[in-house]
Structure 1
Amino acid sequence: MKYFFILLLLSIHLLADIKTERFASFSLNNGDLQIENGHYLEAIDSFRSAYETSNSNEIKAKAILREANLFSLYLDDKFIAIDLYRKILKNYSNVSSMEYAIYSLGMLYKDIGKRKKAIATFERYNNYYKNGKFSNQIEFMLRRLLKTKILKPKKSPLVVTKSIKIPTVRVLLSNKKHFTLSSKSGIQLDNKIHKTIQVKYINGKISINNKRYFKLNLKSKAPIYVASKNKRYRGDMTITTYKNKLALINTIAMNDYLYGVVTSESFDKWDIEALKAQAIASRTYAYYQSKVRENWIYDIKDNTHDQVYNGINGETHKSIKAVDETLGQILLANDKITYSQYTASSGWYSASSKEIFDVNISYLRAHKDRFSKEMPNGKWKVKIPISDFEKRLNKMGFNFNGIYALEPIKIGESGRVLEINVKAQNGEKTLRTYSTVRRAAKLKDILFAVKRVGNSFVFNGGGFGHGVGYSQWGGQKMAKDGYKYDEILKFYYANAILKELW
């Protein structure tokens, strides 16, 4: 009997560990999805949740590696990325991620002009991995570095130094196995004009009328209608294969793209100054993504994962006016394109990127926001049965039994609950609020106070989204109060300046 209870306890602990690692793996995958959707700061939160939750060195190293890659590729902060890669080399030398970390570290040293450190890191790679995945690339790099005395730092893709022509943007409209396209003027394909084209994915290739293609670029004088979207689009269409499906990509001039975005992301009935602020935030966001995703098959998605684009169907007189009257204007900080985060509402206090995601971005600061407070989602109340809340957390991979209290233990400058202690009969655990409690309780934001009422938790909060950057409802209130679009943007993006690029 004694051994039975010992085995039972060991089994319970093993089950708890398995569930914990399941959540950590889920967080890693969720972080990857957030990157794909352009939510880089949210991805950092997911990777850090994985790191803090897991007991596995393999998963911890993967979490650090993915965060380092994110800073290097999408947030243009190579020095943070270097520190993270070095952390893997120092603390997790016996994991699979180390090979990629050494290679990436060497490449970053090369990019910032640190020749000697790049050579030393590549030689270290050769000592560890004589026939590694990157051996050929490193051999080539070493030959070049040993011949070159001085390295010029690689220029950031986000630095803007002069005016440019109106850019195009590649919008991913669909990722399915088949779709139908049509146009009143016809679509040009194989030197013929087709009123309707039915496209299918067959054996890894594009198929039209039993003819196979690897990639297609389609043009039409009139807008192209996409049946599955029930929408019409200006510009050209590219069809390629992506994730074992077809990718339909609309290549369109930035101005035409924004016509279909502004009153899809905001409301047409809103004041024109608020719509102008939205136009600039959306233009800056799309331009930023086009720079950091140059090696992707698309720049931006057409839905809420990036920003909503409804093609010609989303255009209104006011959206066109807002885009045309702010033509070519984007937000810059230190001569770089800003990552113009925006949120539906910041409640009564805008959050900083530092407090929510632990990433210090100078123009994303915390400050009081009386404008959002008075608008929809400025305040809200959510009541959830404790049993439902516990089930949702456990479905994520936790092992709570008999949750009875929630205790906020880390609160940011804006008042948002960053970490919360979940107390249960079988123990307690501190969780990142944004990636766990927010989802489990289906909260609009993490700006809240919580209390237990009977067998339920009651959250009294405000805001809708992450609370970082431009508040759309707050911007509308400012416009109604007589503020101009540049004043609205200055209120929400501290230290950022407007510059007309085209």
Structure 2
Amino acid sequence: MTAALILALAAQPAAAAASPRTIQIGIVQQAQQLMVVPEAHYTLVEPSGVRWEVEPGREYRVLPLNLRQVRFGPWEVPADSRLEPKDGGGTVKVSGSRYRGTLIVRAVSDGTLSLVDEVGMEDYLPGVLAEEMEPDWPLEALKAQAVVARTFAYYNLNRFRSEGFDLGPDTRSQVYKGVGRENENVRKAVSSTKDEVLGFDGKLLGVYYHSCCGGHTTSPRSVWGKWIEVPRPLKGVKDRYCHHCPQSRWTAYFADADIMAALTDQILGTTSIDSLAVGKRDSAGFVEDFRIYSRGRVKVDAKDFRKRLGPKDFKSLKILRVIRRSKGIEFVGSGMGHGVGLCQWGARYQAEFGRNYEGILSYYFPGSVLSVVTDE
């Protein structure tokens, strides 16, 4: 989307968009081939304007020919050809997932294909919500998530422009698998917050969200080491609601051998671990580094430590206890995810206790302004 974004107070009526707001999602990268099934009337449009009518329900095989051409079913067409819905609606099935919008087929320098879904922002968001939050959760929690997801998308437009799209379909951006898990609850959450975003100091706020904070959200500086000055809405808040989440307490055990293998470049020459302890914590209680003792002391960055051991088991850096076992280390932790911004489980229980989405957003982003996006 090239239109400039302006923030206006949500209490004012949203200005009509001068042009459709679209976003490009790189839904497939480095594919050797693709199987595409239009589920409505679509047209394959070459960059020159040449048009080919495709049949609804027919499966088309897409193959790379070279950097300039691809084969789409029976046709050889230039790369960057577009599969456009004739009436603006309908879906296309790609590898089992269904997508709205226009699909752009691109050839990549390594001889593979990429596929980009160019879709309206408000049509993109239901697919995000259905993957990032449970679709049957309370509506007010989903509405809060919709505002945060929309703000994240606008704030991060063009993040992957060097790769030919705005955002990815995974946790590098926001998880997006098309329309598969959408339901009426999700669609209502998006439509009832149409164009609403969070702002601060007259600009879009760089928001984040996660599953469960473990009792206190933290600052992006603690997690990513950036933001020379963290804006007030992102400094972190105490959360008395998320203790209901299933990950409010968890344990993870790692054998000494697995820890040493994961950190082999940092603990060279170490054949055993005498002990492991928490080093520094941030103000919210998240661990910033660990200390490993064996023939001396080694300080290990906590984010790198978690990444190497695997975030699926090492659910967060809110570590409550470290227990030495006979052949390994047991961690007792709280929460799940990086802990910055909206706590989804906290939002769920706030909604169940009667708080509306505006209140939920104010709770997790104090000082932010609920605004609308308009075109300049």
* Range into which the TM-score falls when normalised by the shorter chain: 0.7 to 0.9
- For the residue of structure 2 that corresponds to 1:240, the secondary structure is strand
1: CA distance, partners of 2:157 / 2:101: 17
Aligned length: 343
Q: Which residue of 2 aligns with 1:194?
A: 54
Residue by residue over 1:442-498, the C-alpha shift from the partner in whole angstroms, topping out at 9 and shown as x without a partner, is 411111021212222111111111111101111101111111101111111122111
- Which range moved further: 363-372 or 284-293? 284-293
Q: Which residue of 1 aligns with 2:316?
A: 445
- Pick aligned residue for 1:468 from 326, 340, 355: 340
- Per-residue deviation at 1:160? 2.9
- Pick aligned residue for 2:26 from 172, 176, 184: 172
Q: 1:337 to 1:293 in 2, by over 3 A?
A: farther
- For the residue of structure 2 that corresponds to 1:494, the secondary structure is coil
1: CA distance, partners of 2:60 / 2:105: 12
Q: 1:333 to 1:450 in 2, by over 3 A?
A: same
1: CA distance, partners of 2:160 / 2:294: 44
Q: 1:178 to 1:224 in 2, by over 3 A?
A: farther
Q: Which residue of 1 aligns with 2:287?
A: 417
Residue by residue over 1:307-348, the C-alpha shift from the partner in whole angstroms, topping out at 9 and shown as x without a partner, is 122322232100111011111100111111122110111011
Aligned 1:334-373 pairs, distance under 5 A = 334-358=201-225, 359=227, 360-362=229-231, 363-373=233-243
- Per-residue deviation at 1:366? 2.4
Q: 1:457 to 1:243 in 2, by over 3 A?
A: farther
Are the equivalent residues in 1 in contact too, given 2:7–2:372 (CA < 8 A)? no
Larger of the two Rg values belongs to structure: 1
Aligned 1:89-488 pairs, distance under 5 A = 160-161=6-7, 163=15, 165=17, 166-175=20-29, 176-189=31-44, 190-195=50-55, 196-208=59-71, 209=74, 211-221=76-86, 223-228=90-95, 230-242=96-108, 244=110, 245-290=112-157, 292=159, 297-358=164-225, 359=227, 360-362=229-231, 363-394=233-264, 398-399=267-268, 400-425=270-295, 427-437=296-306, 439-440=308-309, 442-448=313-319, 449-488=321-360
- For the residue of structure 2 that corresponds to 1:247, the secondary structure is strand
Residue by residue over 1:43-85, the C-alpha shift from the partner in whole angstroms, topping out at 9 and shown as x without a partner, is xxxxxxxxxxxxxxxxxxxxxxxxxxxxxxxxxxxxxxxxxxx
Residue by residue over 1:134-187, the C-alpha shift from the partner in whole angstroms, topping out at 9 and shown as x without a partner, is xxxxxxxxxxxxxxxxxxxxxxx9873565725111111111121022224343
- Which range moved further: 449-458 or 312-321? 449-458
Q: 1:243 to 1:393 in 2, by over 3 A?
A: farther
Q: 1:403 to 1:284 in 2, by over 3 A?
A: same
- Per-residue deviation at 1:422? 1.5
- For the residue of structure 2 that corresponds to 1:262, the secondary structure is helix
1: CA distance, partners of 2:16 / 2:305: 43
Are the equivalent residues in 1 in contact too, given 2:200–2:367 (CA < 8 A)? yes
- For the residue of structure 1 that corresponds to 2:347, the secondary structure is helix
Structure 2, unmatched stretches of 5+, are 9-14, 45-49
Q: 1:438 to 1:403 in 2, by over 3 A?
A: farther
Give 2:154's aligned amino acid.
Answer: Y
2: CA distance, partners of 1:261 / 1:354: 26
> Share of identical aligned residues, percent?
25
Question: TM-score, length-normalised on structure 2?
Answer: 0.84
Give 2:301's aligned amino acid.
Answer: R
1: CA distance, partners of 2:108 / 2:353: 47
Structure 1, unmatched stretches of 5+, are 1-156
Give 1:275's aligned amino acid.
Answer: L
Give 1:160's aligned amino acid.
Answer: I
Q: 1:234 to 1:159 in 2, by over 3 A?
A: closer
- For the residue of structure 1 that corresponds to 2:280, the secondary structure is strand
Give 1:329's aligned amino acid.
Answer: E
The structure whose residues are more often helix, as a share, is 1
Q: 1:500 to 1:474 in 2, by over 3 A?
A: same
Provide the aligned C-alpha RMSD in A.
Answer: 2.3
- Per-residue deviation at 1:294? 5.5
Where does structure 1 differ by over 4 angstroms across 4 or more consecutive aligned residues? Answer: 161-164, 291-296
The structure whose residues are more often strand, as a share, is 2
Aligned 1:57-76 pairs, distance under 5 A = none
Question: TM-score, length-normalised on structure 1?
Answer: 0.64
- For the residue of structure 1 that corresponds to 2:288, the secondary structure is strand
2: CA distance, partners of 1:234 / 1:369: 37
Are the equivalent residues in 1 in contact too, given 2:135–2:182 (CA < 8 A)? no
- Per-residue deviation at 1:401? 2.4
